[in-house]
């Protein structure tokens, strides 16, 4: 009977571990929408920063002797 109880406890522990792992994987899968949104927002912000840098490069002279461009 002791062996049977030990086996049952080990089985319950293994079942809990598998259920927890499945839940974690499901949560990660459900989060993919948010990760894709974050990825898109980061790409957009990088593109905007590059545009700002390009605009500032046209507006302000690199060398002190250059004239401003409009």
Write out pLDDT tens, residues 17-34: 999 999 999 999 999 999
Q: Residue 64 has which token pair?
A: 């002190």
pTM of the model: 0.50
Percent of the chain with pLDDT over 70: 83
Angle between helices 2-30 and 32-59 in degrees, nearest 10: 30
Angle at 50 between CA 48 and CA 52, to 5 degrees: 70
């Amino acid at each position: 009977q002791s062996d049977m109880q030990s086996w049952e406890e080990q089985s319950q522990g293994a079942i809990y571990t598998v259920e927890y792992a499945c839940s974690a994987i499901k949560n990660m899968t459900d989060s993919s929408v948010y990760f894709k949104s974050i990825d898109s927002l980061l790409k957009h912000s990088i593109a905007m920063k590059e545009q700002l840098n390009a605009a500032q490069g046209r507006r302000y002279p690199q060398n002190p002797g250059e004239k401003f461009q409009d």
